[in-house]
Chain A
Amino acid sequence: MRAIVTVIGKDRVGIIADVCAILARNKVNVLDISQTVMQEYFTMIMLVDMLKDSISFDEMSSLLNDAGRELGLSIRIQREDIFNAMHRI
């Protein structure tokens, strides 16, 4: 299942590394990353693939939420379908 991870927050060293480490530990494959920094605000969008041996979506979502709270960032994971439905015919 493909999903979108978005990370939004104040820029600092190591955000990409931290988030990627969580994904890698839980066998979630990163397919694409784009990121920008606008006025100190860091925005990263990752397209990821939840593989058969990845942890469940629920667990992944809670892990990222918790990590976000710890790192002072907003991190969320959403299924790709919602964006496709909203923006593509």
Chain B
Amino acid sequence: MITSGEILQTIEMIDQQHLDIRTITMGISLRDCAHPDIGVCCGRIYDKITKCAEKLVVTGEQIEKEFGIPIVNKRISVTPIALVADSCETEDYVPIASVLDKAAKAVGVNFLGGYTALVHKGFTKGDLRLIRSIPEALSLTERVCSSVNVATTRAGINMDAVAEMGRIIKETAMLTATDGGLGCAKLVVFANAVEDNPFMAGAFHGEGEPECVINVGVSGPGVVHHAISACRGLPFDDVAETIKKTAFRITRMGQLVAQEASKRLGVPFGVVDLSLAPTPEIGDSVADILEEMGLESVGTHGTTAALALLNDAVKKGGVMASSHVGGLSGAFIPVSEDAGMIRAAERGLLSLEKLEAMTCVCSVGLDMIAVPGDTSAETISAIIADEAAIGVVNNKTTAVRIIPVPGKGVGESVDFGGLLGKAPIMPVHPSSSAGFISRGGRIPAPLNSLKN
């Protein structure tokens, strides 16, 4: 039998260290919803989502109750809408975003991802229509999340898409100016996007995915922080071992919940995403873990190495605990969603340049970063290009979720509330990148051999 100590340890993790299942995300294929008439297409989309996900929220709540583990979010990802809507005879895809929002509300999920286009090599007519509709779609809907993949290691970087996304982000910020540019918090620009990511805002149900699938994202920065606080003064070997063991436990729980959800919903289990996803709550921070390793503040020299160790140990511990690992799997460093990152950014101890370096060794990229409202579209595009280059060259997923906050400048901050948190506005480089971005075309795929 399980010992009392083990039982109390689990309860302490949940009660005091914020251990939770961050999300159960149901992936739903909408490929069979395509129709030339957008009205018919929307009807099919609504019917399919509400039918597949009818019991998603209630099942999640049941599991939560029986296992005594909080499941923070229940969400849905769908086939990239650019694929579904390509055959619609219309110039305007916004009605589809509205129907997705309506379906999300009907089934009670807090976010639905997949207002997406994959344009790493070029645009179809549908891709362009979708991308151009993003600002309006995100300003008119509440729960729809959008993403655009602009680069892959095999295709290189579509610089036309990069340039376009700079403008789209600016426009989205302007259309949601009254909410501090909130629309941009629901828009991710990816390089090497993954098809089975359960985390928002970048989730979509990829082309290689089945009809319907359950993916689970675990979390637990607080638990890892607590565990390594017992390693004070010990060498990194011990730190890595401790993180691995902790990640293993967290992931085992994620796997259990994923299997249970899959069984109860009658939907196949996809992957467990091993990510350390912080929340703005105190004690649920990735920055705190890095500082626990001996850094005075996140952002100082040594941060990248600390993050590399953390990211790798989480994966090593988690991989054995789950039958299928996928998604983004790594530590997230969203500035506005992490109390420690906010603290460092407010004091000017964490720069955009250091964050960019950190994204070389961890999951995702420049995430939930607020920049001055007068940042030019070209500068935003150039930031995207830099991140995409890191992803493409290093064979990893990178992303940019950046908010040029209308009417605000460095020294101010923007508060989105809830899980999206509060972001201090960070300075961008003053020199222009306009000439670079205006070239357009594609940056060729990098060489992946001759690695010596």
Which residues of A approach B to under 8 Å, CB–CB? 4, 6, 8, 32, 34, 36, 43, 45, 47, 57-58, 61, 76-88
Contacts and interface: CB of A to CB of B under 8 A. Distances in A.
B66 interface: yes
Contacts of A88: 2
B324 interface: no
B67 A81 contact: yes
B64 to A, nearest CB: 10
Contact of B255 (A47, A76, A80, A85): A85
A79 to B, nearest CB: 5
Interface of B: 1-2, 4, 6-11, 62, 65-69, 249, 252-253, 255-256
A80 B256 CA distance: 12
Nearest to A84: B2
Contacts of A77: 68
A45 B65 contact: no
Chain B at the A interface: SS class:
helix
Contacts of B67: 78-79, 81-82
Q: Which 8 pairs show the lowest CB-CB distances between chains A and B?
A: A78-B68, A85-B256, A87-B6, A85-B252, A82-B67, A83-B2, A86-B249, A45-B4
Contacts of A80: 2
Nearest to A78: B68
A87 B66 contact: no
A83 B67 CA distance: 9
Contacts of B65: 57-58, 61
Nearest to A3: B66
A83 B256 contact: no
Contacts of B252: 85-86
A72 B1 CA distance: 28
Given A78-B67, A82-B68, A85-B256, A47 B1 contact: yes
